[in-house]
Amino acid sequence: MDELTERKQRILRAVVLEYVQSAEPVGSSLLVERYQFGVGPATVRHELSEMSDRGYLDQPHTSAGRIPSDVGYRYFVNRLAEPKLDKGVAKRVRDLTKNEADLEGLLMETCKVLSRLTQYVSIAATFSEGSARILSIEFAGITRERLLMTVVFSNGLIENKILEGRSDLTLGDLHKLSIEFSRAAAGIPVRSLGRKAAPVIESESAGIREIAQAAWRTLKGVARAATSGKVVSEGTQFLFEQPEFQQDVDALAKIVAALEDTEVVQEALDVTNPASPVTIGAENPSVAMHSLSVVAGKFYIGDTEAGAIAVVGPKRMRYATAMPLVETAAKALTEALNRLMR
């Protein structure tokens, strides 16, 4: 990426800010009217033309003004954006993560708030993690013939499953189930669970072994689902309000389909460069997302990546707000998950 002179930087920044606000190509006359560059309209037109030739700006039509290109947005994000987040908004995000007791609830509520605050789509995903382990398994009675199995995983997920029980099960039987299942499954990678047989439970209850077998099959299914990666999203409706998408219904349909594809989303959220967690336009692996930008941040359990949270919107995004907001949400999720795991 070429270095721009200070004046070109100021003009590029002005073009980005004006286009983000209006969604209309930005002309030299508007720039001269609203900004003090210390030069006349002819010089501003020349600078715009030079930046277009160098790939920082695009001109949709010959007589139209300019809009930022992917390169222009990248230069703006890397060097010109001035990230700023209101302290009250940051506190709202941090406080939110203190109220949920499981990973899925944390992700859903955080996505709702991010989407409302930004008016963009918000997506969170847990990464596929075959090395995740089961921390504990507990059985409890709900009714005389219904059991609740609660499974806690090392990646922060907590899964509850209702199972068929028997009227002759005792509290002692439930305690034995909890102890033996935890002894058999806790601490081993879930991918190894498929090779292990269900524990044998000694009890006077005739059906305890059948219940143990059924519970073990359910546990294997829960383990596979819990470590294959999950995606939650909020705010898809905000895409329909963006002028650039209203003009191309087919493109919008492809974008919505891409955002519903778990593999596409997880790939888009896999931040490889934490120093620049913004993916702009054609930098996205999926062609269907080339008209979008993604601002993502990873969250962790200890030193292990547990997933990522992001806002997704048009390239004409308010980066200075989205970047610190996502960073705050990711840090809050990390803190919340580590509290849950203690």
Does 251 lie in the same domain as 116? Answer: yes
Does 298 lie in the same domain as 221? Answer: no
Q: What CATH number should be reported for the domain holding residue 177?
A: 3.30.390.60
Last residue of a domain, one of 80, 98, 118: 80
Question: Is residue 1 a part of any domain in this protein?
Answer: no
Does 105 lie in the same domain as 63? Answer: no
Q: What parts of the chain have a pLDDT lower than 70?
A: 1, 100-101, 127-131, 204, 206, 226-229, 271-275, 341-342
327/76 Cα distance (integer angstroms): 18
59/40 Cα distance (integer angstroms): 21
Q: What is the pLDDT of residue 95?
A: 85
Q: What is the pLDDT of residue 274?
A: 60
108/89 Cα distance (integer angstroms): 18
Q: What is the pLDDT of residue 247?
A: 79
Q: What are residue 250's DSSP bridge partners?
A: none
Q: Do 222 and 269 contact (CB within 8 A), yes or no?
A: no
Q: Computed from CA positions of residues 28, 32, 33, 35, in that sequence, does the dihedral angle turn out positive or negative?
A: positive
Domain that holds residue 164: 134-226
Q: What CATH number should be reported for the domain holding residue 65?
A: 1.10.10.10
Does 279 lie in the same domain as 169? Answer: no
Q: What is the pLDDT of residue 275?
A: 63
What are the backbone dihedrals phi and psi of residue 176, each rounded to the nearest 5 degrees, phi first? -65, -40
Does 45 lie in the same domain as 28? Answer: yes
Q: What is the pLDDT of residue 303?
A: 82
298/308 Cα distance (integer angstroms): 4
Does 51 lie in the same domain as 110? Answer: no
Does 291 lie in the same domain as 143? Answer: no
Q: Do 138 and 149 contact (CB within 8 A), yes or no?
A: yes
Q: What is the pLDDT of residue 158?
A: 84
Number of Cβ within 10 Å of residue 310's Cβ equals: 31
Length of the chain equals 342
Q: What is the pLDDT of residue 228?
A: 67
- pLDDT single digits (tens) 124-169: 988 666 667 888 999 999 988 889 999 988 877 788 999 988 887 8
Q: What CATH number should be reported for the domain holding residue 293?
A: 3.30.450.40
Question: Is residue 274 a part of any domain in this protein?
Answer: yes
22/26 Cα distance (integer angstroms): 9
Establish how many alpha carbons lie within 13 A of residue 80's alpha carbon, considering only the half-sphere containing its beta carbon: 22
* Angstrom distances, CA of residue 106 to CA of 57, 72, 109, 110, 127: 40, 35, 5, 6, 15
Q: What is the pLDDT of residue 163?
A: 92
Q: What is the pLDDT of residue 102?
A: 73
Q: Do 83 and 324 contact (CB within 8 A), yes or no?
A: yes
Q: What is the pLDDT of residue 161?
A: 92
How many structural domains compose the chain? 3
